[in-house]
Amino acid sequence: MDAQQALADLTEISSQIQAAVVFDEQGKVAASTLEEGRADALAEGVGRLLEQALDVKVGAGGPLIQLEAATDEGSVFVVADGPTRIAATTAPDPTVGLVFYDLKSALRSIAAKPAARRPTPKKPAAPKKTTGAKKKPAPRNKKTDAT
Amino acid sequence: MRRSVAALVGVAGGMLAGAAFIRRRTVDRDRVDLYYQDGSMVSLSNGSPGADRLLPLAREILRKTR
């Protein structure tokens, strides 16, 4: 999916997201909900934030894939998938899990290219099982005592 | 007379407690959570060495995007 379309879908789905930008490792903006100058500033700021975050190593393992910076003015979210990054800003006290989920979904939809459909090999039809079918017990008739 | 003084002291005490609660909530809110590929997460609260560098950058980003 086109990055701009993915961001349009993202802001439509998530009312918590105020601004979002998709950019690469070099800070090149692929799509944004902001106008060009502010989008570049957001990407550049988030790039610096990521750089500083990479320096923080408190016994953590593996590369940094997600970040949330929460302040009284709002929150900044960043999700990285290989060279592609998506960043978003929200109002204070967002639903963190939901925002991360929406950002990851947007990134996935950008990464997913419309691949040509491969014909799936047909499995030979399994023979129908006729044995082992349990016989239903006959329903009990209710006693109709007319006394 | 005594009653009104007690009421005033009560209201003032309530306001102080409320202000302290709000202040504490605001201070607690400032933090940075870092998630790594191996599933681990590091939370840097306000005042920690890492957060001191990251939180001003986050505030700057938020101001720029407004």
Q: Touching check for A51 and chain B: CB below 8 Å?
A: no
The CATH T-level fold of domain A3-111 is Beta-Lactamase (3.30.450)
Q: Do A90 and A34 contact (CB within 8 A), yes or no?
A: no
- pLDDT of A55: 83
pTM of the predicted structure, to 2 decimals: 0.72
Interface of B with A (CB under 8 A): 26, 29-38, 40, 42, 44, 50, 53-55, 57-65
| Shortest Cα–Cα distance, A92 to chain B (Å) | 9
The CA distance from A56 to B34, in Å, is 9
Cβ-contact A25, A92 below 8 angstroms: no
CA distance B58 to B66: 13
- Looking at CA atoms only, how far is residue A138 from chain B in angstroms? 55
The answer, yes or no, to whether residue A143 has pLDDT greater than 80, is no
Q: What pLDDT does residue A146 have?
A: 46
> Looking at per-residue confidence, does A18 or A141 come out higher?
A18
**The complex's ipTM?**
0.71
Q: What would the pLDDT profile of A19-73 be if each residue is shown by its tens digit?
A: 999 999 898 999 999 998 899 999 999 999 999 998 886 665 788 999 999 999 9
Band the pLDDT of A138: cuts 50, 70, 90: low
DSSP H stretches of helix in A65-129: 96-111
Task: Kindly report the number of other CB atoms within 10 A of residue A69's CB atom.
Answer: 28
CA distance B52 to chain A (A): 11
pLDDT confidence tier of residue B19, bands split at 50, 70 and 90:
confident
Task: Say if the Cβ atoms of B32 and A41 lie within 8 Å.
Answer: no
User: Cβ separation of B61 and A34 shorter than 8 Å?
Assistant: no
User: Residue A44: CB partners within 8 Å, gap ≥ 6?
Assistant: A27
Listed by start position, the domains of chain A span: 3-111
